[in-house]
Chains A and B, each alone.
Chain A
């Protein structure tokens, strides 16, 4: 049976929804397995113990777990993710306030990753089989193995504290809130922190792809025609080697979005990573669920985009067995 692209997308969505439902169910019960609850913050000699009980009742924490779960699912289906226990705002409002910041950081990191990854992979076309190529390959492997927080600390120390070129934290300076140039300045170091190891991995992937394409008959044919090398690279090798990257970028975006946790803390970037850490430590269950839902949706969309890109590039994938 041949599937049109919209049908293919619908089918993939149909597969994603049960996955999301499963993820949320597991996280709901796992979060409740953590010791304590959101009222732990009220263990204080200055707060009467009765206040904790009143709050447990208000938050519905005194109800059976399954009741709480059913109630959360019902509300979530209506688009109501509840009120954050700690931030005294609807979860949707809290997330809407910080999600764009993470999208900006994730997007910038992805852009740098792809550009840097491709630039680092290209020398393979000229250096294939040489010692320099081996050196570059090892270097890429080394960079890939470095934890991103360590890269972040080095970047911070050199470019912020020593040279003073870039700000060390947050999205804007307090006196330049909303300024685009100020945002770009703040974005450089955290985006690089995320992008550098990812670019190293991408470059290694791209190198293999370039090498494969370089050996294809149509490239040999182009060479035999005496076409200039730059033309062969630009018109034949790159488009064919880069097509898998489009699919890879979709997957990477989801990974980047959920992997900014350490970087956001290191650079005090006001995004989903910081919010998720806060929610977990505060046992703010509605906020935990909201953050997991967003992360799940972003990863799913990234994967879906990758699948769709693959399906467009290779229509055979739209066939089902």
Chain B
């Protein structure tokens, strides 16, 4: 069929109009839609298999949990409020907790949430065939011949009552039990080895304040408010849209243009321009993340050659005085002032000021004092005997390579500053950038002498994996720090029923670490989140940006 010239023109104009109509059409979504920019797609909705920040936050909105964590920012203490469990009580010796569940919670397919779902969830978390990333939450449950036995340690007494039995009492149990729960009736018959590829991972049956409306791979996840209400919670916004925007600049530009309402993981350089945006509010939370320079306290070669049997002091960093000298040779205050401004705080003792109850505010960072640093190094026998500008001792130069993972601009700059400042005390430091994955693998295998990296403190102060002298059970004690009194402290705080009872012990811990300087602590860095001012009622903080998003409302 041949079209006339006029028809062809009309079609062309209609096509052009369609394009511009599509472009300029006003945002017609319900006013109560809030759009959150995320860097990467959610890999799975199944809480068994993902624990990255975004997946965890979405899981909290979709799946039931026994308890809801709360944080007292004044005292820095974690507490718990009822969620699926309306109440709970501890046994006399605190080794058992009995939860009473609400009877009005239902899964999105209409089936009631019961105590069997709770038991089933912990069966899956504990199962080594499932290999859940949250397997650790079951490690304190009562054991049977050395193995966790969920059948006897997580016992429903009826549909709405369940008892958890632990090996011994500990302050961290409630936190461990706050993991998302999984529907028994949906996955019970699925072979455990097949769970990793089950369609539940992408189209889950959920039970929470929000439902999953749509997931478009690599593009968006849309959650719809559960308007029927969930356990007395009725969200005030109609929808949450998690928009996948891998490019950092795009996320910032869309925040400024109003296309998205909330952006997490801001960089420090974003703070200044965003603070000038009228419609955007910046939220800076004192963080749990700290950066440090790790000085390997032990000789990595001897350790690896003997497969962990031979532990000898590192030829350069094995001495406390040398490590203190290194810290004093580096101007940490200037680094914080120059590169972090008000979004960072100088670190020194391994515990964030966020945890006010445990923080030792009587300690002060070692001063920046290069002359004292030189004297300390001389005391340890380091002199520039051959006059070549580098310290030496018994023919060995004070020269080493500092490793950093590639892709972190701030650490790049800091490494250069540190190199210059150590050169002033006649220490020769090279910088080597390593691909991120290789960097962490090498660190875990204790291959490096010195490095810059960062850690995040857990919400419950249990720091054995970072600080215990038994290097086999503390894989993140990367510097090989060994101190019997610190071990004692770690053991004692682990057995306390209330974490605040360990305040004095934690203060002593910081004093010991401060004295030993196994690391040169650099700074605590704040979490920066930007949110459109039209979104009210947010609880942006240590539980993430979307914590209790059901309380958000839009003005």
- Give A contacts to B, CB under 8 Å: 34-36, 40, 42-51, 54-55, 58, 83, 86-90, 94, 97-98, 161, 164-177, 179-185, 188, 265-266, 268, 270-271, 274-275, 278, 283
Closest CB in chain A relative to B415 CB, distance in Å: 21
Contacts of B23 in A (CB 8 A): 165-167, 185
For B222, what are the chain A residues with a Cβ–Cβ distance below 8 Å? Answer: 174
Query: Distance in Å from the Cβ of A97 to the closest Cβ of chain B?
Result: 4
Nearest Cβ on chain B to A182's Cβ, whole angstroms: 5
Looking at A34, A87, A88, A90, the one whose CB has the most chain B CB atoms below 10 A away is A88
Within 8 A of A (CB), among B121-156: 128-129, 131-133, 135-136, 139
Task: In the complex, identify which listed stretch (B271-279, B303-311, B357-365, B438-446) lies at the interface while the others stay far away.
Answer: B438-446
Chain B residues touching A, range:
35 or more
Question: In the bound complex, how far is the Cα of B196 from the Cα of A87, in angstroms?
Answer: 9
Determine how close the nearest CB of chain B comes to the CB of A16; give it in whole angstroms.
29
Q: How far is the CA of A188 from the CA of B22 in the complex (A)?
A: 11
Interface stretch (choices B38-46, B373-381, B518-526, B529-537)? B38-46
A171 touches B437 (CB 8 A): no
Question: Does B441 lie within 8 Å of A35, measured CB to CB?
Answer: yes
Q: B512 interface residue, CB < 8 Å from A? A: no
Contact A40 B440 (CB under 8 A): yes
Interchain CB contact under 8 A, B40 and A43 = no
24 contacts between A and B (CB under 8 A): A35-B437, A35-B441, A36-B437, A36-B440, A36-B441, A47-B133, A48-B136, A48-B139, A51-B136, A83-B197, A86-B43, A89-B201, A98-B218, A161-B253, A165-B20, A170-B219, A171-B219, A174-B241, A176-B25, A177-B214, A181-B19, A182-B22, A185-B20, A266-B250
Q: Please indicate the chain B residues that have their CB under 8 angstroms from the CB of A87 in the complex.
A: 43-44
Q: Check if A265 sits within 8 Å of B243, measured CB to CB.
A: no
Contact mask for chain B residues 180-207; partner A; CB cutoff 8 A; 1 contact, 0 none? 0000000000000100110001100000
Residues of A within 8 A of B21 (CB): 181
User: B131 to chain A: which residues have CB within 8 Å?
Assistant: 51, 54-55, 58
Closest B-chain residue to A166, C-beta based?
A: B23
Q: A35-B438, A268-B250 are in contact. Are A88 and B196 (CB under 8 A)?
A: yes
Within 8 A of A (CB), among B529-555: none
Contact B247 A184 (CB under 8 A): no
- B476 on the A face (CB < 8 A): yes
Residues in chain B within 8 A of chain A (CB atoms): 18-25, 27-29, 33, 35, 40-41, 43-44, 46, 49, 51, 128-129, 131-133, 135-136, 139, 193, 196-197, 201-202, 214, 216-220, 222, 241, 243-247, 250, 253-254, 257, 259, 435, 437-438, 440-441, 444, 455, 458, 465-466, 475-476
CA of A286 to CA of B537, assembled, Å: 43
- Asked whether, in the complex, the Cβ of B25 is within 8 Å of the Cβ of A42, the reply is no
Residues of A within 8 A of B41 (CB): 278
Q: Which of B18, B19, B441 contacts A40 (CB 8 A)?
A: B441
> Are B253's CB and A46's CB within 8 A?
no
Residues of B within 8 A of A170 (CB): 219-220, 243-245
**A58-B193, A188-B19, A275-B218 are contacts. A268–B246 as well, Cβ < 8 Å?**
yes
| Complex-state Cα separation, A187 to B41, whole angstroms | 21
Q: Are A43 and B440 interface neighbours, CB within 8 A?
A: yes
Instruction: Give complex CA distance A232, B404 in Å.
Output: 66
| B residues less than 8 Å from A51 (CB atoms) | 131-133, 135-136
CB neighbours (8 Å) of B129 from chain A are: 54, 58
Please name all residues of chain B whose beta carbon is closer than 8 Å to the beta carbon of A54 when the two chains form the complex.
128-129, 131
Which residues from A are CB-within-8-Å of B241? 174
Closest to A83 in B: B197
The answer to whether A168 and B29 touch across the interface, beta carbons within 8 angstroms, is no
**With A35-B435, A55-B131 given, is the CB distance from A175 to B27 under 8 Å?**
yes
Q: Across the interface, do B51 and A46 meet the contact criterion of CB distance under 8 Å?
A: yes
Smallest CB separation, B199 vs chain A (Å): 8
> Contacts of A179 on B, CB cut-off 8 Å?
22
- Point out which of B25, B216, B444 has the most chain A C-beta atoms below 10 A from its C-beta: B216
User: A166 — which chain B residues lie within 8 A by C-beta?
Assistant: 23
- Which residue of A has the minimal Cβ distance to B220? A174
Minimum C-beta distance from B432 to chain A (A) = 14
How far does the Cβ of B198 sit from chain A's closest Cβ, in whole Å? 8
Q: A88-B196, A271-B218, A274-B218 are in contact. Are A266 and B247 (CB under 8 A)?
A: yes
With A and B bound together, what is the CA distance between A86 and B440 in angstroms?
19
Smallest distance from the beta carbon of B437 to chain A beta carbons, Å? 4
A45-B458, A48-B135 as given contacts; A88 in contact with B46, CB under 8 Å: yes
- Which B residue's beta carbon lies closest to that of A54? B131
Decide yes or no: A174 and B33 within 8 Å by CB, A48-B139, A184-B22 being known contacts: yes
Bound Cα distance from A171 to B131, whole angstroms: 35
Bound CA span A168–B255, Å: 12
Cβ-defined partner of A168 (8 Å) among B43, B196, B250: B250
A46 in contact with B136 given A87-B44, A268-B244 (CB within 8 Å): yes
Q: Is the CB of B18 within 8 A of A184?
A: yes
- In contact, A175 and B29 (Cβ under 8 angstroms): yes
- In the complex, the chain A residue whose C-beta lies closest to that of B457 is A45
In whole angstroms, what is the CA distance A32 to B437 when docked? 13
Please measure, in the bound complex, the distance between the C-alpha atom of A171 and the C-alpha atom of B229, giving whole angstroms: 32
Task: Write the chain A residue with the least CB distance to B219.
Answer: A270
CB nearest to B215 among chain A residues: A97
